[in-house]
């Protein structure tokens, strides 16, 4: 492959890497996808995505068939491309701080692979990394292992990603902005050219800034969204204690104010997923190292942790003591449209219910295999939502899957032992569930109960 501007490598084929590689290949870029996991590479070579994401399988199949995507575990192949994205994982250490081992190893090996290369290439840090990582960690490692001068014969940029699981492909093809962080004009302009080529006349606004600012934008974005969720859950917990109040109406009303906006104001069991908790912990830890304690962010996390207890309180309110009670849990994924259970609120709620002696029968349309890995034999898994409800003393809805919306009072009443329903995702119109003992996050008691 000739390493012209239409050639791209993506190192680390996790969630972000795979979607990025698929997006570039789908627009005709010759793309090399690199990962150390040989099994994963074999799967991708057969056009199968090693994770669930709508549209991804089809895109990979087409890209591999047309030879636009070359999956490999050989990092030296990155040298045959012009732009090289680093999308390796940045997990948390036990104290919440960021673990940069994968970034360091990838930078080191990439530098060695580029050592003999004569022409210019551009390295782009897309992994979520704390401010300073591109300059203080990636840059010196790359410079040493490649023996090149960064900014002269090897470009370097920070370019964070804002993909959401479940809509990652649409997000990659239609982002609301592109952040380019660089200390030298050449790197920034090369990356701008790449995106101009990719998006054509639909090029989103590009924000040019320093690498450190770009890195902080990513954390600020996730921290703000997580704080919005914890904020509305706080209001939900207050609303829940006031007769006649519904947090959904409060959210709808405040969301009309353009300064607030309607999104991320859905009260529920607390946020989950691989990013919010990890990124907040990393930012809190990083701030601590700078000598600043970000109490707002700590409260966001604490509120989120406590929200699982609030859901369990609702269950107890309906059933009384949980010892030996049979609880149906509908939904395990951290949100609909994914099989991912990382940091899912369902896991926190299930663990609390188990601790109180409840027996759990759980169901999720996609996430059972992943939930089984986390919960093991402590929980029974049902084959569908109706079997989960069988002889249950209470049902708690934990993920907003559309198919759960279709369950009506008669389905619940016909299958369960007791008519107790906790709607932790606000799927149902409380008025239609009047024949049941119905409780929901952020829904105050009716005035008659008061």
Q: 267 vs 12, 51, 243, 254, CA distance in Å?
A: 34, 28, 18, 13
Q: In the complex with ligand UGA, which residue's Cβ is closer, 325 or 335?
A: 335
Q: For residue 243, with 0-12 CB atoms within 10 Å meaning exposed, 13-18 middle and 19 or more buried, which class applies?
A: exposed
Smallest gap from residue 85 Cβ to ligand UGA (A):
15
Smallest gap from residue 267 Cβ to ligand UGA (A):
7
- Rounded CA-CA distance 227/297 in Å is 7
Q: In the complex with ligand UGA, which residue's Cβ is closer, 24 or 334?
A: 334
First to last CA, the chain: 73
* Residue 275 a catalytic site member: yes
Find, among 124, 21, 27, the residue nearest to 72 by Cα.
Answer: 21
Smallest gap from residue 318 Cβ to ligand UGA (A):
22
Contacting positions for ligand UGA (CB under 6 A): 161-165, 222, 225, 229, 264-266, 268, 271-273, 275-276, 334-335
- Rounded CA-CA distance 337/284 in Å is 29
- Rounded CA-CA distance 210/68 in Å is 32
SS3 label, residue 234:
helix
Residue of 157, 275, 394, 395 marked catalytic:
275
Q: In the complex with ligand UGA, which residue's Cβ is closer, 155 or 273?
A: 273
Smallest gap from residue 342 Cβ to ligand UGA (A):
9
Smallest gap from residue 304 Cβ to ligand UGA (A):
9
Contact 339, 401 (CB under 8 A): no
Contact 64, 71 (CB under 8 A): yes
Q: In the complex with ligand UGA, which residue's Cβ is closer, 24 or 162?
A: 162
Smallest gap from residue 166 Cβ to ligand UGA (A):
7
Q: In the complex with ligand UGA, which residue's Cβ is closer, 229 or 250?
A: 229
Smallest gap from residue 441 Cβ to ligand UGA (A):
10
The residues near 360 (Cβ < 8 Å, ≥ 6 apart) are: 327, 329, 350, 353, 354, 378, 379, 380
Smallest gap from residue 379 Cβ to ligand UGA (A):
20
Strand (E) or helix (H) holding 351: helix 345-355
Q: In the complex with ligand UGA, which residue's Cβ is closer, 83 or 87?
A: 87
Contact 354, 420 (CB under 8 A): no
Q: In the complex with ligand UGA, which residue's Cβ is closer, 276 or 286?
A: 276
Contact 237, 310 (CB under 8 A): yes
Find, among 189, 130, 120, the residue nearest to 157 by Cα.
Answer: 189
SS3 label, residue 405:
helix
Contact 341, 334 (CB under 8 A): yes
Find, among 199, 192, 106, the residue nearest to 145 by Cα.
Answer: 106
SS3 label, residue 305:
helix
Greatest CA span in the chain, whole angstroms? 79
- Alpha helices of 131-200 — where are they, by DSSP H? 133, 139-146, 168-173, 185-199
Q: In the complex with ligand UGA, which residue's Cβ is closer, 162 or 404?
A: 162
- Rounded CA-CA distance 18/32 in Å is 11
Smallest gap from residue 54 Cβ to ligand UGA (A):
12
- Sign for the CA dihedral angle at 181, 187, 135, 113 comes to positive
Q: In the complex with ligand UGA, which residue's Cβ is closer, 261 or 414?
A: 261
**Residues with catalytic roles:** 275
């Amino acid at each position: 492959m000739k390493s012209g501007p239409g050639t791209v490598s993506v190192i680390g084929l996790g969630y972000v890497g795979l979607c990025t590689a698929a997006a570039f290949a789908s627009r005709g870029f010759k793309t090399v996808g690199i990962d150390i996991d040989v099994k994963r590479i074999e799967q991708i070579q057969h056009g199968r995505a090693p994770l669930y994401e709508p549209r991804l399988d089809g895109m990979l199949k087409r890209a591999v068939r047309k030879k636009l995507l070359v999956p490999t575990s050989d990092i030296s192949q990155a040298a045959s491309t012009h732009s090289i994205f680093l999308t390796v994982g940045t997990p948390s250490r036990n104290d919440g701080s960021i673990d940069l081992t994968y970034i360091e190893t990838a930078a080191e090996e990439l530098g060695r692979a580029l050592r003999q290369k004569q022409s210019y290439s551009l390295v782009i840090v897309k992994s979520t990394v704390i401010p300073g990582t591109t300059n203080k960690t990636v840059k010196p490692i790359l410079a040493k292992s490649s023996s090149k001068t960064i900014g002269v014969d090897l470009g370097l940029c920070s370019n964070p990603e804002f993909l959401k699981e479940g809509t990652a492909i649409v997000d990659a093809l239609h982002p609301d902005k592109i952040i380019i962080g660089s200390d030298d004009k050449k790197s920034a302009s090369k990356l701008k050219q790449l995106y101009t080529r990719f998006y054509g006349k639909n090029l989103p606004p590009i924000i040019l800034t320093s690498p450190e600012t770009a890195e902080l934008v990513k954390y600020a974005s996730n921290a703000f969204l997580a704080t919005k969720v914890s904020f509305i859950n706080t209001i939900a917990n207050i609303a829940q204690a006031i007769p006649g109040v519904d947090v959904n109406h409060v959210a709808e009303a405040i969301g009309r104010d353009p300064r607030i906006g309607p999104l991320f104001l859905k009260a529920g069991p607390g946020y989950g997923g691989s990013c919010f908790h990890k990124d907040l912990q990393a930012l809190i830890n990083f701030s601590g190292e700078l000598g600043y304690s970000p109490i707002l962010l700590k409260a966001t996390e604490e509120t989120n942790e406590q929200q699982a207890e609030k859901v369990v309180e609702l269950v107890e309110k309906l059933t009384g003591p949980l010892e030996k009670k049979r609880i149906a849990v509908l939904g395990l994924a951290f949100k609909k449209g994914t099989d991912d259970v990382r940091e899912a609120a369902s896991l926190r709620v299930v663990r609390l219910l188990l601790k109180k002696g409840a027996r759990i029968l759980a169901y999720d349309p996609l996430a059972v295999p992943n939930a089984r890995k986390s919960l093991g034999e402590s929980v029974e898994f049902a084959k569908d939502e109706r079997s989960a409800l069988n002889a249950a003393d209470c049902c708690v809805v934990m993920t907003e899957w559309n198919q759960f919306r279709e369950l009506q009072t008669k389905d619940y009443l016909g299958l369960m032992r007791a008519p107790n329903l906790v709607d932790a995702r606000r799927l149902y119109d409380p008025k239609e569930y009047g024949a049941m003992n119905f409780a929901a996050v952020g829904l105050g008691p009716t005035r008659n109960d008061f």
